[in-house]
């Protein structure tokens, strides 16, 4: 047993830690969704997919890449 959060927890408190990790992950996902909605609401903002980023990079920055 270990001391975790002021109480004794079996198995080193791993069950509690896993639960807490899931809770924090859910909060991060919610915050990211809120941010994306906020950004999408702004005029003139480009929110590209990864494919669009790759195509833009290859078109715009190709001259900056070293050829082998």
* Residue pLDDT, tens place only, 6-63: 555 555 567 788 888 888 899 999 999 999 999 999 999 999 999 999 998 888 876 7
45 exposure class (CB count in 10 Å sphere: 0-12, 13-18, 19+):
exposed
Q: Distances in Å between the alpha carbon of 10 and those of 17, 19, 68?
A: 12, 14, 57
Q: Which residue has the tokens 């069950």?
A: 15
- Domain residue limits, the chain: 2-64
Q: Which pLDDT value is given to residue 1?
A: 46
The DSSP element (H or E) to which 11 belongs, if any, is none
Q: Which pLDDT value is given to residue 5?
A: 54
Quickly list H helices, 1-68: 14-40, 50-60
CA distance 13 to 7: 9
């Amino acid at each position: 047993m270990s001391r975790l959060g002021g109480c004794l927890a079996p198995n080193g408190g791993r069950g509690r830690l896993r639960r807490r990790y899931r809770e924090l992950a859910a909060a991060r996902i919610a915050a990211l969704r809120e941010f994306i909605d906020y950004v999408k609401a702004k005029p003139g903002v480009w929110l590209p997919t990864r494919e669009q980023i790759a195509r833009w990079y290859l078109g715009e920055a190709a001259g900056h890449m070293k050829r082998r």
